[in-house]
Chain A
Amino acid sequence: MHTVLAHQGTLWHGFLLTLELTVLGYVGALVLGTVAAICRVSPVAPLRVFGGVYVEAFRNVPLLALLLLFVFGLPDVGLTVSYFKSAAICLALSAGAFVCEAMRSGINSIGLGQAEAARAIGLSFSQSLRHVVLPQAFRSMVQPLVNVFIGVALGSALAAAVGVDELTRQTQFLNLQYAVGAPSFLAAGVLYFALAVGGGAVGGYLERRVKVHR
């Protein structure tokens, strides 16, 4: 136990990297997911197919397979990116597919009548999106988006397998160097638990903020 406390700097450094990966991956996923959702709901058929292929592909790819493909495969085609950037990109790509599906189901959940009424009173496309569709869609999107955040936070641990010095890898390193045993894993587990529960708490707060009070 005291070994873990003596080397807690390593763990905190790893946790910082985990946080960075999580935030970068999640923001990237939101961006990619929004673009993909726009593609999937657009009336342009090639964009719908493109979005559909993206979602189906990246929902069904194991994150570790994607990471290994990026880290070990891409240098073969001339693209050498740092481990951290590859991990962030893979997390964003993978989670973006789930974000896209969450957004699409949010948009489809608001009921045809709302959108038709918005068009009937003369709102333009962007106006009806801003005032009618998206506020209501967001309400049902919050919970799935929080789930994706937790998925990204826990998925960032896989970056340890490709060389990123985040929390899981630091724990593994401590065990290989100093054989600290269970306390290091308990400490790392507590930190991940705090991250996941924190994300859930933020999500709960957002859900209450946007809830319809009847």
Chain B
Amino acid sequence: MSSVNRVLFDPPGPRARRRIAVATVVSLALIALLIVLALIQFGRNGQLAADRWTPFTHWPYVHFLLQGLLGTLKVTAMAGVFAFPVGAGLALLRVSTNPLLRWPATVFIEVFRSVPLLLLVYAFLLALPRYGVNPALFWKLTIPIVIVNSALLAEVFRAGINAVPRGQAEAGSAIGLRYHQVMRIVVVPQAIRIVVPALVTQFVSLLKDSTLGYVVGYPELMKQGQNLTVYTHLLVQTFLIVTLVYVLLNYLLGVVARALEARINARPRARAVAAAEPGEAAPGALVR
């Protein structure tokens, strides 16, 4: 729970405290009313009945969904293993002084940042097999995720590289390091330290992308949930539970991101550099 915003509000005097107390009671009542209405709507359609929820405490159901979770983790991990290095490489190409390296990287990044992931997945499912490109189902899901997320990660890394003060690179060349040495020894380590929170956010986005297994038919959590509903017809319960699992997973990753950010900002030198931090640098990464 966040504390009161001090930009907008001075510490409250007696009249303001009374108003806040009234508003607290009223808003509590309204929120409670909302929750009760939702529960009533659920109950009126018989969705609160115990026999619709208790199956999820039985091992076979839990096991079925856990297999889906394993699929999700597999896709996420494999996609991450490829997307992060490729994204870093693309970022280095994008900031290179050589136009032969820079232009293809720029085109790749700009194109695959602006195209929806689902379109790429459909391309892999429907169009590419005609031209002989027909990988296994797992890769039909993972490769598009890698392509799109490497473009987004490239932008995050590039923002980090640009956020490292120019003096660092200049000092590197001043002591006689060549370009690739300046990058490797001076700039990139600092850049990575700056963008670690944004990288974790992008990883959360990667995990959310794995839900496209539903479209492809790969048995990750979303698809397993849907398979379950085909047999059990417990639609709202299954999808609600699956959604809650995703929220929990991503929330935990967010906690990790905030902890990393706190650790970085605890060090005085890094804090000065982090003050120039780009923040949520990757468009298109958000709503997925």
Contact = CB atoms under 8 A, between A and B. Distances in A.
The residue in A50, A111, A185 that gathers the most chain B C-beta atoms within 10 A of its C-beta is: A185
Contacts of B123: 182, 185
A98 B286 contact: yes
The residue in A72, A91, A133, A154 that gathers the most chain B C-beta atoms within 10 A of its C-beta is: A154
The residue in A50, A73, A152 that gathers the most chain B C-beta atoms within 10 A of its C-beta is: A73
B283 interface: yes
Interface string B215-252: 10000001000100100000110011011001101110
A91 B116 CA distance: 14
The residue in B8, B113, B212, B286 that gathers the most chain A C-beta atoms within 10 A of its C-beta is: B286
Contact of A179 (B8, B130, B204, B251): B130
Given A69-B243, A74-B236, A98-B286, A155 B116 contact: yes
B283 A184 contact: no
Contacts of A148: 286-287
Contact of B287 (A94, A107, A176): A94
A182 B119 CA distance: 11
A112 B11 CA distance: 13
Given A77-B42, A107-B8, A150 B127 contact: no
A152 B287 contact: yes
Chain B, interface size: which category? Answer: 35 or more
Nearest to B72: A62
A47 B12 CA distance: 17
B28 A46 contact: yes
Contacts of B9: 43
B18 interface: no
Contacts of B207: 62
Contacts of B235: 72-73, 75-76
Given A72-B229, A154-B117, A161-B214, A43 B45 contact: no
Chain A, interface size: which category? Answer: 35 or more
B8 A115 contact: yes
B36 interface: no
B284 A196 contact: yes
Given A45-B24, A155-B116, A185 B41 contact: no
Interface stretch (A52-60, A81-89, A206-214): A52-60
A159 to B, nearest CB: 9
Given A77-B45, A108-B5, A57 B114 contact: no
B126 A155 contact: no
A184 to B, nearest CB: 7
A123 interface: no
A60 B286 CA distance: 10
Given A56-B251, A60-B204, A168 B119 contact: yes
Nearest to B12: A43
B59 interface: no
Contacts of A98: 286-287
Nearest to B29: A46
A102 B285 CA distance: 14
B119 A69 contact: no
17 contacts: A43-B5, A62-B288, A73-B235, A75-B235, A78-B41, A107-B5, A110-B7, A147-B283, A147-B284, A150-B283, A151-B283, A151-B288, A161-B214, A172-B122, A185-B119, A192-B115, A193-B115
Given A151-B283, A168-B122, 12 more contacts: A43-B9, A44-B27, A59-B254, A61-B247, A76-B47, A76-B236, A77-B45, A154-B284, A157-B119, A161-B118, A185-B123, A189-B119
